[in-house]
Amino acid sequence: MSQPFLQKSGVLWNISRTGGGDATNLLIVATKYYTHFVTGTGRARSAPGNEWSGVVELREPLTHGRANRELRSLLAQSFDLETDEIRILHWARLH
């Protein structure tokens, strides 16, 4: 490779790594969770429900002790259901 190309890549790297002053527009990064759950009626557990899976993005991480309950509540709100109509089969935080 030629020397000017190496110098250019070094300059580009330096520019991309240097701060541009005080950042005033920081964005909140969402916490992502893989979820696998069933929706159905809470009273009739034997009735077949709808099975769902996918990624849920939250503004804040779930609290360790109440994660299952919090996730059920958030999913129920999103699907316009009661909390007891959501049964979580599996969930995991994505990194």
What is the per-residue pLDDT for 40? 82
Distances (CA, A) of 54 to 2, 14, 69, 77: 48, 39, 18, 16
Considering 3-12, 41-50, 56-65, 78-87, the range whose residues carry the highest mean pLDDT is 78-87
DSSP symbol at 7: H
DSSP string computed for 46-59: TS--EEEEEEEEES
Q: What is the mean pLDDT of the chain?
A: 76
Q: Is the pLDDT of residue 10 over 60?
A: no
Task: List the domains of the chain with CATH numbers.
Answer: 31-93 (3.10.20)
pLDDT digits (tens, 9 = 90+) for 49-77: 699 999 998 888 888 888 999 999 999 99
